[in-house]
A = this chain, B = another copy of it.
């Protein structure tokens, strides 16, 4: 055991005494990632609540904004890239359209398909949400020295690199 145990060390120690077979070589890394992600997610949710967005609505706005002008994607592209069901995606789009944050129109190249694009209000809200979310995540790391942030970023990049398509 190194240094002063933190909450993940305490969790691992509890499992080691309660159910050692539940631990593997990568359990600590898994747990640290999941705990950190939960903290980041909680910070995100505070931002989304203030903006009146669900996490999925945010994801859709962000995906459209990231696609560049004219901020338009097919429904199918949104479902696949955001790992959503087609029905769920349609309902999220319905809500964004109702709030005039997005528009839906037919795809001239495929009669089955629809294209979703951001309205000017949608672009503005997407940008506001993205910046606010980034700031919220930055706040989570505020107490962490920059060299620790850089080291962790590099170490995780190595983890990603070792798995070509997925970690």
- A interface residue numbers (CB < 8 A to B): 2-4, 6-9, 11, 14-15, 18-19, 21-30, 32-42, 65-66, 68, 83, 127, 130-131, 134-135, 137-138, 140-141, 143-146, 148-149, 151-164, 166-167
Contact = CB atoms under 8 A, between A and B. Distances in A.
A96 B79 CA distance: 32
Interface of A: prevailing SS: helix
Nearest to A15: B66
Given A27-B137, A138-B24, A163-B144, A65 B33 contact: no
A80 to B, nearest CB: 14
A148 B153 contact: no
A167 B26 contact: no
Contact of A30 (B21, B40, B131): B40
